[in-house]
């Protein structure tokens, strides 16, 4: 029970004060002051809020899945005990990062900011470098053949649709 509480606490603290909180709130706040652009078509705002809402789903789902299934957290110093390959991870290896980029695109639309769009691109590139240079080698060392098989079955960024060949 103590391990579960520790995993939950680490995930929530990391989400609010670490990676996602910094990337999705503090960065945009520094760029836009979080001021919603006025004088834009209602449809534009609906799309922006829709992207933000859809993008938050993988983050929230990952927090729960990392604690319940992986027996760990999003926080690198409290890693999962088990490789998480279920839920959204069945379709794409990095749903949380994909969700973050979708949220940022929604924010770029909502704030009507070219700087937010540039920030989104920079964050996306940063995620890709982090994943390729740190996260994937770390997961490979930790989980070995299980992670190798996961990488063969599931794409890094673009969801792979189920087929008979890939076993889904």
Q: Which two tokens stand for residue 20?
A: 């996602």
Q: Is 162 part of any domain? A: no
Cα–Cα distances (Å) from 28 to 23, 48, 69, 91, 112, in that order, read: 7, 14, 32, 28, 12
Q: Model confidence at 152, in pLDDT bands (50, 70, 90)?
A: very high
131 touches 95 (CB < 8 A): no
Q: Is 74 part of any domain? A: yes
Helices (H), the chain: 2-17, 19-21, 27-32, 42-68, 95-111, 114-130, 136-143, 145-153
How many domains does the structure of the chain reveal?
1
Tell me the pLDDT of the chain averaged across its residues. Answer: 86
Q: With a cut of 90, say whether residue 92 has pLDDT above it.
A: yes
User: What is the pLDDT at residue 21?
Assistant: 82
Q: Pick the residue with more confidence: 72 or 62? A: 62
User: What is the pLDDT at residue 123?
Assistant: 97
Which residues constitute the domain of residue 108?
2-153
Q: Model confidence at 126, in pLDDT bands (50, 70, 90)?
A: very high
Q: Is 58 part of any domain? A: yes
Q: What is the pTM of this model?
A: 0.86
Q: Is 168 part of any domain? A: no
What crossing angle do the helices spanning 114-130 and 95-111 adopt, rounded to 10°?
170
Which domain CATH number covers 52?
1.20.120
């Amino acid at each position: 029970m103590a391990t579960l509480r520790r995993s939950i606490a680490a995930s929530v603290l990391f989400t609010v004060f670490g990676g996602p909180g910094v990337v999705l709130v503090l960065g945009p706040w520094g760029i836009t002051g979080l001021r919603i652009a006025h004088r834009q078509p209602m449809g534009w705002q609906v799309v922006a809020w829709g992207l933000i809402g859809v993008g938050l789903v993988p983050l929230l789902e990952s927090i729960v899945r990392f604690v319940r299934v992986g027996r760990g957290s999003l926080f690198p110093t409290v890693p999962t005990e088990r490789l998480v390959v279920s839920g959204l991870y069945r379709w794409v290896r990095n749903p949380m990062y994909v969700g973050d980029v979708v949220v940022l695109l929604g924010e770029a639309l909502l704030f009507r900011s070219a700087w937010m769009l540039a920030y989104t691109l920079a964050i996306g590139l940063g995620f890709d470098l982090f994943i390729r240079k740190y996260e994937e080698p770390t997961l490979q060392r930790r989980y070995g053949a299980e992670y190798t098989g996961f990488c063969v079955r599931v794409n890094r960024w673009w969801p792979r649709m189920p087929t008979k060949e890939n076993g889904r």
